[in-house]
Amino acid sequence: MENLLSLLRNNPLVSFTILLLVILTLPPIFERLRLPGLVGLLFAGVVLGKDGLYLLDADSESIALFSDIGKIYLMFVAGLEIDLDEFRKTKERSLVFGSLTFFLPLLMGTYVGIRFGYGWNSSILIGSLLASHTLLGFPIVQRLGMVKNQAVMVTIGATIFTDIAALLVLAICVSIHSGDFSAVSLVIQLVSLGLYSVIILFGFRWLGKEYFRRSGDEESNQFLFVLLAVFLAAIGAQLINVDKIVGAFLAGLAVNDVVGNGPVKEKVEFVGGTLFIPFFFIGMGLLLDIPAFIKTIEFQLPLVIGIVGGLIVAKLLAATAAKFIYRYTWAESLTMWSLSLPQVAATLAAALAAYQVQNSAGERLLNETIFNSIIVLMLITSILGPVLTAQFATKLPLPKTRENEEDRSIENTLEEWLPQLQTETKNDHFTVVIPIYNPYTQRDLLEMGSLLAKQESGIIVPVCIANAGVHMDDPQVDGNLKQGQILLERAIEISQEFEVDAQPIIRIDDDVAQGISRSAKEKNANLIIMGWSENIGLKARLFGTILDTVFWSSHCPVAVMRLLDNPVNLNRILVPIKNLSKVTLETIKFAQLLADSNQGKITLLHICDRQTPQDQIAEFKTSLLRLITEYKLSEKYQIKMIIHDDPAQVIIRASHQFDLLILRSFRRRTVGGLAVSDITTEVLKKLSCSLVLFGQPHS
């Protein structure tokens, strides 16, 4: 039996299969238990390691390779996720808070290390591990619409300083521990690191922009270029005796501006988040010595408390200092504290790197006791940080000035957009483009398009894309053209039933999605209507769907529909509203157009968190009433304000009383389809009425 297990654990294919099984199953289970998914990956590493089933060997070449790739990818994504635009806006304050939230934990950690008998080098390294932070609470402030709050922006910007400084300290401590340190070597190390950083930050950025400009829409090659940049930077870091995670982080910063928020970034993050980064956390679990871990908790509890407590106190002191320096409110200060608490990405990557470094005498830079304490620190802060962020961020004052249209204050939004809405007149050339490719959904989509076009005295343009390759004499092209012609003839018949002018077109194109977008632009379309696709296969996850691409590239709004009833019967319309912005108002306009076309009624649903201040709720309702009154919508609209902590469940329950639900989608494309929120994803799974996902260009 032991021989069989040894054979299995030394088989890279078996190891890879086990890793995939763990990544697929355990994180969702732990998230249902209200624990971070990464805790499940660590748990899996422990269970599958030498102290458990021993199906995976931490010392095997394949596991070591997977873990190294995951560690590099983790730090690369950490750099990629930093919003450089926001950092530039608040760089002075970000540097001040970054210095505070770096040096205070550094001093605290160094004191704890010295207090418990560690040398200066190890103690300073312990302090640097406490100095960085991971923005696990960012999705929470994003959901609450508080990203543009200055205190939040400053905390996000401070991440750049803390991560770079922590990695720099790691590089110096590794050099000292290896015995290669001297005043001259320090100068050489700093100079080489400076030159290397310039090459990566500016050279890679320039190369990236040039390559992306020349490669156009070749996303696969752009994706490979980004991967190559990451691993070249990691190798370059090793050549100057700096840990590879430093190079990976700098590569993330370098290509940040190049990839932006486009599809390449989505693919990079998808591959990393799905495969490589989970490998790293499982590898961390494999390295855990459970008897030693228990022994650390049992006999070194004061050290563990000192490290965890020291971090919490030091980060609180830094946030408090920022409060008095910049006159922030306590809610803002405590939000900064909670956002800077979690110690995951840079901390774990640096801890593992230090744990694996040994000098000529075989002594580790970071011993097992400290390594285990850092794991405890990660577990506590990764849970505590987001919980506190959810508590304090709801009490943040509404930002007074916003640069982003999405996040402008309600009053500013209304002042800018109401005059435009009030002066708009109907377009005599209102054009609805309807791609025809599924005969089973064709009629419903054409009926919906005809209703909308007729209301606006416009036309519909049924579009059929005959997919073709390079050779036009391919028999398949003729077959596609004949099939398309049949579909278009049926489309004309349906349009005549509704007395709407139809101008069908058939187009030969090697890319169906681009063919649809180009046809819409050529016809100067006002709207594209498409049918919903349930395609969630591997190809769709990696390269997106036709819907995804059309949504990304279109010049006009796109309405993706899943219709469970005849369009003329969709009279009761529900539109959930998160905030008031241009995109929200355009969604309301679309709902009104649909209601006008079939004498429908619209209900606007706004769901507030239980901790949302009453004055914010009142302000939102007042502004929404003003919108309805000034836009003369009061006869068709009702407003529902519901206080609840689970918006998805509220929307699902409310939808039972309606014929159609209109949800907003985003222009940003993901590797798995349309970019929708977690709330929308949950709603889609349980929705029992018809659905429209509506989105605007540049939204």
Judgement on whether residues 82 and 145 belong to the same structural domain of the protein: yes
Are the CB atoms for 124 and 197 separated by under 8 Å?
no
- Cα–Cα dist 613/426, whole Å: 40
Q: What percent of the chain has pLDDT over 70?
A: 81
pLDDT at 20 over 70: yes
Judgement on whether residues 338 and 447 belong to the same structural domain of the protein: no
Cα(27)–Cα(39) distance, integer angstroms:
8
Higher pLDDT, 341 or 260: 341
Q: Are residues 307 and 405 in the same domain?
A: no
Q: What is the pLDDT of residue 320?
A: 92
Identify which has the larger pLDDT, 98 or 509.
Answer: 98
Question: Which sign, positive or negative, has the C-alpha torsion 660, 661, 667, 669?
Answer: negative
Give the residue from 226, 260, 254, 93 showing the smallest Cα distance to 164.
Answer: 254
The amino acid present at 15, given as its one-letter code, is: S
In this predicted structure, which of 58-67, 156-165, 279-288, 677-686 has the lowest mean pLDDT? 677-686
Question: 306-328 in b/e burial notation, b at 16+ Cβ within 10 A?
Answer: bbbebbbebbbbbbbbbbeeeeb
Q: Is 214 exposed, middle or buried (0-12, 13-18, 19+ CB in 10 A)?
A: exposed
Q: How many domains does the chain have?
A: 3
Record the tokens describing residue 479, joined without a space: 């077959």
Confidence of residue 543 (pLDDT cuts 50, 70, 90): very low
Q: What is the mean pLDDT of the chain?
A: 77
Q: What is the pLDDT of residue 317?
A: 93
From 481, 498, 524, give the residue that closes a domain.
524
- Are 541 and 670 within 8 A, CB to CB? no
491 has a pLDDT exceeding 80: yes
Express as a percent the part of the chain with pLDDT over 90.
Answer: 3
**Mind listing the pLDDT tens digit for each residue in 425-474?**
444 578 999 988 877 778 888 888 888 888 888 899 999 888 776 566 66
Lowest mean pLDDT among 252-261, 375-384, 532-541: 532-541
Q: How far apart are the first and last CA of the chain?
A: 59
Cα angle 312, 313, 317 (rounded to 5 degrees) comes to 120
Phi-psi region of 50 (alpha: psi -120 to 50; beta: other; left: phi over 0): alpha
Q: Which pLDDT band holds residue 405 (cuts at 50, 70, 90)?
A: very low
Instruction: Give dist(CA 321, CA 440) in Å, integer.
Output: 64
Do residues 146 and 38 share a domain?
A: yes
Q: What is the pLDDT of residues 630-667, one digit of tens each?
A: 666 556 678 888 888 788 888 888 888 888 888 877 54
Give me the pLDDT at residue 407, please.
40
Q: Contact 570/452 with Cβ under 8 angstroms? A: no
Q: Mind spelling out the 3-state secondary structure of 202-213?
A: HHHHHHHHHHHH
At residue 587, φ and ψ (nearest 5 deg) are -65, -40
- My answer on whether 286 and 434 are in the same domain is no
Closest listed residue to residue 663, CA positions, set 602, 595, 548, 575: 575
Which region among 158-162, 213-217, 318-322, 543-547 has the lowest average model confidence (pLDDT)? Answer: 543-547
- For residues 160 and 12, membership in a common domain is answered with yes
The β-bridge partners of 638 are 603
Instruction: Mark out the alpha helices in 527-677 (DSSP H runs).
Output: 538-543, 546-553, 582-597, 614-630, 647-655
Two structure tokens written together for 37: 């998914």
Same domain, 186 and 94: yes
Q: What local confidence, expressed as pLDDT, does residue 7 receive? A: 67
Which pLDDT does position 380 carry in this prediction? 81
- Does residue 23 share a domain with residue 164? yes
- Residue 487 belongs to domain spanning: 428-524
Task: Examine the fold and report which residue of 485, 505, 524 is the final residue of a domain before the chain moves on.
Answer: 524
Based on the domain organization, do 40 and 90 belong to the same domain? yes
Which residues make beta-bridge pairs with 643?
Answer: 608
413 and 495 inside one domain: no
pLDDT of residue 86: 65
Q: Say if pTM beats, i.e. exceeds, 0.75.
A: no
What is the tens place of the pLDDT at every residue in 69-82?
Answer: 887 887 787 677 66
- Going from the C-alpha of 401 to that of each of 151, 405, 582, the distances in angstroms are 13, 11, 16
Closest CA to 449 of 564, 548, 526: 526
Q: Is the pLDDT of residue 30 over 70?
A: yes
33-42, 307-316, 386-395, 502-511: segment of lowest average pLDDT: 33-42
Q: 383 and 500: one domain?
A: no
* Other CB atoms within 10 Å distance of the CB of residue 492: 14
Kindly write down the DSSP assignment for every residue of 112-163, as one continuous string. Answer: HHHHTT--HHHHHHHHHHHH----TTHHHHHHTT-TTSHHHHHHHHHHHHHH
Same domain, 240 and 201: yes
CATH number, residue 442: 3.40.50.620
CB 487 within 8 A of CB 442: yes
Q: pLDDT digit string (tens) for 96-133?
A: 988 898 999 999 989 988 988 888 888 888 888 888 87
Q: For residue range 587-629, what is the model confidence (pLDDT) as tens digits?
A: 888 888 888 888 888 888 888 877 677 777 787 788 777 777 7
CA atoms within 13 A on the CB side of 80: 28
User: What radius of gyration do the chain's Cα atoms show?
Assistant: 28
Task: Give the tens place of pLDDT for each residue, 31-62.
Answer: 777 666 767 887 888 888 887 788 887 778 88
313 pLDDT tier (thresholds 50, 70, 90): very high
- Contact (Cβ atoms closer than 8 angstroms) between residue 151 and residue 332: yes
Selected residue with higher pLDDT from 203 and 290: 203
Whole-angstrom Cα distance, residue 506 to residue 607?
44
Q: Do 155 and 97 meet the contact criterion of CB atoms below 8 Å apart? A: yes
Domain boundary among 500, 524, 548: 524
